[in-house]
Amino acid sequence: MINSRALVITGILLIVLIILVLKLFTIQVSKHEYYTRIAETQQYKPQAVKAERGLIKDVNGEVLSYTFSNVSFFVDRRMLDNKKIDAIAKVFSKEMGKTKSFYVNLIKSTGKTVCIESKVPMQQANRLKKFVIDGLTYQEDFSRVYPYGNSASHILGYVDKKSGTGIEGIEKIYNDKLTGTNGYFIYERDVLGRILSVNEDMSTAAIGGNTINLTVNKTYQRILEEELTNGLQKFGGESAVGIIMNPNTGAILALANLPDFDPANYNLAEANSRRNRAITDTYEPGSTMKSITMSILFDQKLVEEDETVDTEEGSYKYKGVTIYDSHKSGILTVRGVLEQSSNIGMAKLSERLDAEIFYKYLRDFGFSNKTSFDLPSEAEGLLKLPKNFTGITKAFMSYGYELAVTPLQMIAAYSAIINGGNLYQPYITKSITDHSGKVIEEKQPEKIRSVISPATSAKMKDLMVGVVEHGSGTAAMLPDVLIGGKTGTSQRLVNNSYSSSSHNSSFIGFFPADNPAVVIYVLVNAPSRGQYGGLVAAPIFHDVAKRMIESDVNLVKEKKKIQRDSKLMDQLISDLKAAPKNNKRSYLNVAEKKETISNRKFYSSDTMPNLTNRSMRDAIAQLNTMKMQWKVNGIGKVVWQSIEPGSQLTHGTVCTLKCEPAIKKVKQSTAE
């Protein structure tokens, strides 16, 4: 009986031994690799290391957007000894300034893993990291920082707070470039899951994102934003747009929209504030289109500067509609039509343009075409096909109606007018560098096409200097830098009809006039005081340009005080700047102080021109352009000059002018 029991027990033990041997054979031999991987997985735990998002810098290397490294702390309740909850709560309460009970209740809340602090600043996080306890873990948690607040918000855009993905602006367009490559650390743990060491051979470091270097100048950007803000406060208005561009390359030096927003708190801003109006909104440009039309007329040799146009005393019946200027005028030269911004004069001159040719030029200037600008959501605008032109389309388009453009398209077109006739693609990204500073992409100016001839471009620069010196853009003048430009005022569509009380007021100007380095666009939507581009946008341009020149000694190489009829011009500028407080008639009274400038040209030769029968102001402007010294006796029109016309001039020559009052002065239109 005993022997049989012993035999059974021995048999059972033998079977168990055989099973153990087979199991060990399976583990050690047949499934060796499988179980080795399980053991390594339990021993080596990977932890992702998030890559830092790249920087965005201005043209001078100023950081406009960067990522701030924070740390978030978590408790894994599966690995946490409940006796340690009190210790964790005590440490975090002391460091973070919250109550101990706050952390105790948070840790005991539902869920396997609980975040007890998110985005802890690195200085505090480093102190908390020293507190090591099973179940307490942490990970990098980055925040996107915009050190200059709202500045350049429509350029930079913003990133999603949770995913860190670019949503608008440069952050969106270059999201792939800015996003780095995540890495990971392999931690060696013991059987209880505690970290023993980091396996350097198996770990991979994170690689930060690329840096986007912009063409934007932070100083110019700040000036533009501040002066647009001042302008809205002074003149009222729903919104404003400003762009500063290098006309010779297409590089954007500054771009601003008001209202704006804080990219770090984009979720608190209304959608209307986040809209980049400079590229997404279209509008009828009004009289700034006259420079475009005039350049086409000159390029097609359809007009002469000195020929005259009857502007019908400010009211003209044209193919069933009445075209108005803002006040009565009679005969104007072609130059005078642009300087005094006559709608009637432009409408008459536009009759000389073939519809197909007019359309082709406008397309060549970039209208109704996206510029392929490196910011999202650009609109293409609207331009009628010639087959859809009505009897009044050419006339209306000539002074800025029946077409829609974006501010970016408009400044690009003006750049072509003043840079010799070449349309450049606007761009705002200068280069892209990797985390080591190596340039991986670099943007070069891209000429799209030649639109007008260099001779036409030179003529238009001269004419637009006249607009500022003698026409509707007087408020843009600077004392020591010659400015050129054009005002614009267009009625806005309200409830599908043009409003007589709501306008878009704009000015596009450039300097130095002889060799433009900068072109500035200013648009104020629905100003409540001033209304006209010459009264609202031109003064803003003046303040922007003045501050830019003061801030950058290299912007204008040579400054020389421009001699003007000081009493008349000082009074004119004073009245223009005060005009928003007054009514429309006050503005017309100011305009009536200006004399007729019917036949003025700027000369740069060494031959003395004929100045007789010209206004004193016009003659002085011409002599200043030639860098001549002068003396004046009397006021009014020039009746005698000390140097005979056609004489050769030498350096230091002084010309004496004798002036007498004109018998009659001709009032000029100031329509915009």
When mean pLDDT is compared over 15-29, 115-129, 207-221, the highest value belongs to 207-221
Instruction: State residue 374's pLDDT score.
Output: 92
Helices 85-96, 122-129: crossing angle, 10 deg rounding: 150
- Could you check whether the bond before residue 259 is cis, i.e. omega within 30 degrees of 0? yes
Helices 454-470, 289-299: crossing angle, 10 deg rounding: 140
Instruction: State residue 563's pLDDT score.
Output: 73
- Could you check whether the bond before residue 512 is cis, i.e. omega within 30 degrees of 0? yes
DSSP 421-473: SEEE--B-EEEEE-TTS-EEEE----EEEE-S-HHHHHHHHHHHHHHHHHSTT
Instruction: State residue 142's pLDDT score.
Output: 78
Lowest mean pLDDT among 144-158, 185-199, 222-236, 648-662: 185-199
Instruction: State residue 505's pLDDT score.
Output: 95
Which amino acid is present at 256? A
Whether pLDDT at 192 is above 60: no
Lowest mean pLDDT among 27-41, 216-230, 378-392: 27-41
Confidence class of residue 251 from pLDDT cuts 50, 70 and 90?
A: very high
Confidence class of residue 614 from pLDDT cuts 50, 70 and 90?
A: confident
Instruction: State residue 566's pLDDT score.
Output: 56
In the chain, the percentage of residues whose pLDDT exceeds 70 is: 82
The per-residue pLDDT of the chain, averaged, comes to 84
Answer left, alpha or beta for residue 402, where phi above 0 means left and psi between -120 and 50 means alpha. Answer: left
The arithmetic mean of pLDDT across residues 578-594, rounded, is 37
Instruction: State residue 599's pLDDT score.
Output: 33
What radius of gyration, in Å, describes the C-alpha atoms of the chain?
36
DSSP 3-state of 29: helix
Instruction: State residue 598's pLDDT score.
Output: 31
The arithmetic mean of pLDDT across residues 371-397, rounded, is 95
Instruction: State residue 578's pLDDT score.
Output: 56
**Three-state SS sequence of 464-484:** HHHHHHHCCCHHHCCCCCCCE
CA neighbor of 618 nearest in space, from 630, 600, 605: 600
Q: What is the DSSP letter of 386?
A: G
Tell me the fold of 219-310+332-367+375-562.
Beta-lactamase (3.40.710)
Whether pLDDT at 190 is above 70: no
Higher per-residue confidence, 664 vs 77? 77
Report how far Cα 196 is from the mean position of its chain's Cα atoms: 53
Is there a contact between 208 and 245 (Cβ–Cβ < 8 Å)? Answer: no
Cα 39 from Cα 33, distance rounded (Å): 10
For the segment 102-121, what is each residue's pLDDT rounded down to a tens digit? 988 888 876 778 888 888 87
Using CA atoms in the order 241, 242, 247, 250, what is the torsion angle rounded to 10 degrees?
-70
- For the whole prediction, is pTM greater than 0.85? no
CATH architecture of 47-213: Alpha-Beta Complex (3.90)
For the segment 258-273, what is each residue's pLDDT rounded down to a tens digit? 999 999 999 999 999 9
Whether pLDDT at 651 is above 50: yes
The β-bridge partners of 186 are 46
Token pair, residue 29, equals 């031999």
**Three-state SS sequence of 505-529:** EEEEEEECCCCCCEEEEEEEECCCC
CA neighbor of 456 nearest in space, from 424, 416, 509, 412: 416
Cα 409 from Cα 420, distance rounded (Å): 17
Instruction: Report the Cα–Cα distance between both ends of the chain, in Å, rounded.
Output: 125
Domain ranges across the chain: 2-45, 47-213, 219-310+332-367+375-562
The arithmetic mean of pLDDT across residues 427-433, rounded, is 98
In the chain, the percentage of residues whose pLDDT exceeds 90 is: 52
Instruction: State residue 610's pLDDT score.
Output: 82
Cα 120 from Cα 626, distance rounded (Å): 66
Instruction: State residue 330's pLDDT score.
Output: 85
When mean pLDDT is compared over 125-129, 314-318, 458-462, 668-672, the highest value belongs to 458-462
The answer to whether the Cα torsion of 525, 530, 534, 537 is positive or negative is negative
Q: What is the DSSP letter of 563?
A: P
Cα 255 from Cα 241, distance rounded (Å): 8
Instruction: State residue 668's pLDDT score.
Output: 32
How many Cβ atoms sit within 10 Å of the Cβ of residue 622? Answer: 18
Whether pLDDT at 592 is above 50: no
Q: Cα angle vertex 20, ends 18, 23, to 5°?
A: 110
Instruction: State residue 569's pLDDT score.
Output: 54
Confidence class of residue 656 from pLDDT cuts 50, 70 and 90?
A: confident
Whether pLDDT at 36 is above 70: no
Provide the pairing of β-strand 56-57 with 211-214: parallel
Is there a contact between 377 and 279 (Cβ–Cβ < 8 Å)? Answer: yes
Is there a contact between 562 and 483 (Cβ–Cβ < 8 Å)? Answer: no
Is there a contact between 620 and 568 (Cβ–Cβ < 8 Å)? Answer: no
CA neighbor of 74 nearest in space, from 147, 26, 5, 125: 125
CA neighbor of 56 nearest in space, from 200, 172, 184, 138: 172
- Strand-by-strand arrangement of the 44-49 sheet: 44-49, 183-189, 195-198
Confidence class of residue 145 from pLDDT cuts 50, 70 and 90?
A: very high
| Residue 247 phi, psi (nearest 5) | -70, -15
Helices 454-470, 407-418: crossing angle, 10 deg rounding: 110
Instruction: State residue 597's pLDDT score.
Output: 31
Cα 242 from Cα 104, distance rounded (Å): 54
Confidence class of residue 466 from pLDDT cuts 50, 70 and 90?
A: very high
Cα 538 from Cα 672, distance rounded (Å): 12
Instruction: State residue 89's pLDDT score.
Output: 87
Cα 465 from Cα 468, distance rounded (Å): 5
Whether pLDDT at 198 is above 60: no
Confidence class of residue 584 from pLDDT cuts 50, 70 and 90?
A: very low
